[in-house]
């Protein structure tokens, strides 16, 4: 990172650097030599801007194997989640008011569900197994005739656990419930074929996949009964589902990021797997270390570990100059133990000691070696500082 | 705070020293004092807690070496709270240090050493 050569960034699940080809595509569009026109304008420059946006939608559409017309541009995954959950629940409220989600979802999902509960909807909160994976039988038992929406994330942002969205979606479809997937951590990182998957709504964001911050999308399947009520009004853009001037340069950036991701996904996954395994091999023998989340059904870019008898905030500070996360980035400023890890059955103390290491394209094997050394040293230091510790 | 946390020069134990131990508010603190002729010659600490607790323990040890042991009875954490910019929600944890220091001061009241 430019600010300090000493920093080692292992927080790619929080955000990624913008790919250089993405930055170029965006810059080209923003300057006076490019096309900065409002895409809603009817003049030639406006129409050109529309063409750039259409090209970006094609790029994202190819990544996900969908008709680009099924995409609604948003400000990011949080807005997409809100639009999907609030919008679908309100659109279908006359058919039923039962909704299902999991305790381990991102706050961008749990908070809209909590809001719907306040508005009289009946929400079933499914608990994960201790490895973070959803037992499909629990979902099967929870589905009802009046269930209108099920929302289960693809890759968990804290643990990296991957849910079987194909089986979950099939169950939802059989029951007539819409299926929403928060795919903020998976789009562009793992293969997703929405033509084949029984998914009705999918939230995504650019900045987790080497695109810019401030742009996301919601996929809305073209299937009878699949629709969302808008949350915003004014202007009528995007079929009145999400009005507002489209940020062409952000969208172009997302499109380019999707194209890059598609071209190198297999290589990325190989690299991440090697880095994750290297890191785990380097720390796994530390006494009291526990891996959070299923080691088999996990995205290789994320490794979450707890450690016995270590205070989490001190561990995080002792790890500097490593840039890592306690819990999710959204939770990191609070000292509350991660609700995701508590749902996996971890004690408050273990959840509070958890560190999420997340790797990316720019992570090197040398950096992982340094990170291994820093983690081991930090643990030894804090244990030696503690009453009864070695001195 | 970061500097004190990163390099706590007074971390450790003292053999045959006056000692206090407290566990409360999710914090564990042990203090060790070598007191001779009523003067604190050396202080050491062990702590389990957040960075502010560790930094505060280090700051206390650094400040009170060479001072009369009786001053520990009047120790308050207010000054450390300010100098270390301790968030208000951590007040309880820093007060554990205050209790540990006063306990050490009480123990030191009856303590003697071969040099006394």
Question: Is pLDDT at A287 greater than 90 in this prediction?
Answer: yes
By Cβ distance, the residue of A318, A335, A386 closest to B47 is A386
Q: What is the mean pLDDT of residues A290-297?
A: 89
**ipTM metric:** 0.89
Across the interface, do A391 and B11 touch by the CB < 8 Å criterion?
yes
Question: How far off is chain B from A386, nearest CA to CA, in Å?
Answer: 5
- Sheet strands (E) in chain A: 8-9, 71-74, 98-102, 122-126, 147-151, 178-182, 201-205, 216-220, 289-292, 302-307, 322-323, 355-358
Mean pLDDT, to the nearest integer, of B44-71? 92
Specify the higher pLDDT residue, A362 or A336: A362
Please write the tens of the pLDDT for every residue from B6-42: 989 999 999 989 999 999 988 999 999 999 888 999 9
C-alpha A107: how far from its chain's center?
11
Residues of A with a known catalytic role: 330
Q: A130 versus B115: which is more confidently predicted?
A: A130
Task: Tell me the pLDDT tens digit for each residue of A206-242.
Answer: 999 999 999 999 999 999 999 999 999 987 788 889 9
Record: contact A386-B50, CB cut-off 8 A:
no
Please provide the average confidence, as pLDDT, over all residues in chain A: 93
User: Which residues from B are below 8 Å from A311, CB to CB?
Assistant: 48-50
B residues 43-82 closer than 8 Å to A (CB): 46-51, 54
Average pLDDT of A122-136? 96
> Which domains does chain B possess?
2-109 (3.90.1010.10)
- Could you tell me which residue, A193 or A333, shows the higher pLDDT? A193
Is B14 part of the contact surface with chain A (CB cutoff 8 Å)? no
Residue A311 has pLDDT above 60, yes or no: yes
Q: What mean pLDDT is predicted for residues B100-116?
A: 69
pLDDT digits (tens, 9 = 90+) for A344-355: 999 988 999 999
Query: What pLDDT sits at residue A240?
Result: 86
Sheet with B27-36, side-by-side order of all strands: B18-24, B27-36, B39-48
- pLDDT attached to residue A156: 97
Quick one: closest CA in A to B47, which residue? Answer: A386
Give residue-wise pLDDT tens across range A9-59: 999 999 999 999 999 999 988 888 888 888 888 898 889 899 999 999 999
**Closest to A331 measured CA to CA, from A307, A303, A354, A299:** A354
Report the pLDDT value the prediction gives residue B112, as an integer from 0 to 100.
46
Q: Which domains does chain A have, with CATH numbers?
A: 8-16+265-385 (3.90.1150.10), 20-260 (3.40.640.10)
């Amino acid at each position: 990172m430019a600010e300090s050569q000493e920093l080692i960034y292992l927080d790619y699940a929080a955000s990624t650097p913008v790919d250089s080809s993405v930055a170029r595509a965006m810059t080209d569009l923003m300057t006076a030599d490019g096309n900065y026109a409002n895409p809603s304008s009817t003049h030639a420059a406006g129409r050109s801007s529309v063409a750039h946006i259409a090209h970006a939608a094609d790029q994202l559409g190819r990544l996900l194997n969908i008709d680009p017309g099924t995409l609604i541009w948003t400000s990011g995954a949080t807005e997409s989640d809100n639009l999907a959950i609030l919008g679908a629940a309100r659109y279908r409220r006359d058919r039923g008011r039962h909704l299902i989600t999991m305790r381990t979802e991102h706050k961008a999902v749990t908070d809209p569900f909590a809001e719907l509960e306040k508005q009289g909807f009946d929400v079933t909160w499914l608990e994960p197994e201790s490895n973070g994976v959803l037992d499909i039988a629990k979902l099967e038992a929870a589905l009802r005739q009046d269930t209108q929406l099920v929302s289960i994330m693809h890759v968990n942002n804290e643990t990296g656990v991957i849910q079987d969205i194909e089986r979950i979606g099939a169950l939802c479809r059989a029951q007539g419930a819409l299926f929403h997937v928060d795919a903020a951590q998976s789009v562009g990182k793992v293969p997703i074929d929405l033509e084949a998957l029984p998914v009705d709504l999918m939230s995504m964001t650019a900045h987790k996949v080497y695109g810019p911050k401030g742009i996301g999308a919601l996929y809305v399947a073209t299937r009878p009964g699949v629709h969302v009520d808008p949350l915003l009004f004014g202007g009528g853009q995007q079929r009145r589902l999400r009005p507002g001037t489209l940020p062409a340069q952000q969208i172009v950036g997302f499109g380019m990021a999707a194209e890059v991701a598609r071209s190198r996904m297999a290589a990325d996954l190989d690299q991440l797997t090697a880095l994750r395994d290297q890191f785990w091999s380097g720390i796994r023998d530390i006494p009291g270390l526990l891996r959070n989340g299923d080691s088999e059904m996990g995205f290789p870019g994320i490794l979450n570990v707890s450690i016995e008898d270590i205070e989490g905030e001190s561990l995080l500070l002792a790890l500097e100059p490593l840039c890592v996360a306690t819990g999710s980035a959204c939770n990191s400023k609070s000292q509350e133990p991660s609700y995701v890890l508590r749902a996996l059955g971890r004690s408050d103390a273990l959840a509070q000691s958890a560190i999420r290491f997340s790797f990316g394209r720019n992570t090197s094997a040398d950096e992982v070696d340094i990170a291994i050394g820093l983690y081991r040293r930090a643990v030894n230091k804090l244990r030696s500082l503690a009453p009864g510790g070695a001195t | 705070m970061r500097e004190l946390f990163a390099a706590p020069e007074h971390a450790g134990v003292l053999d045959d020293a006056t000692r206090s131990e407290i566990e409360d508010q999710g914090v564990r603190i042990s203090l060790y004092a070598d007191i001779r002729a009523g003067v604190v010659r050396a202080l050491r600490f062990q702590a389990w807690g957040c960075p502010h607790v560790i930094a505060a323990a280090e700051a206390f040890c650094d400040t009170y070496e060479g001072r009369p042991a009786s001053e520990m009875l009047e120790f308050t954490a207010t000054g450390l709270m300010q100098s270390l910019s301790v968030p208000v929600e951590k007040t309880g944890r820093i007060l554990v240090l205050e209790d540990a220091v006063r306990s050490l001061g009480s123990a030191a009241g009856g303590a003697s050493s071969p040099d006394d």
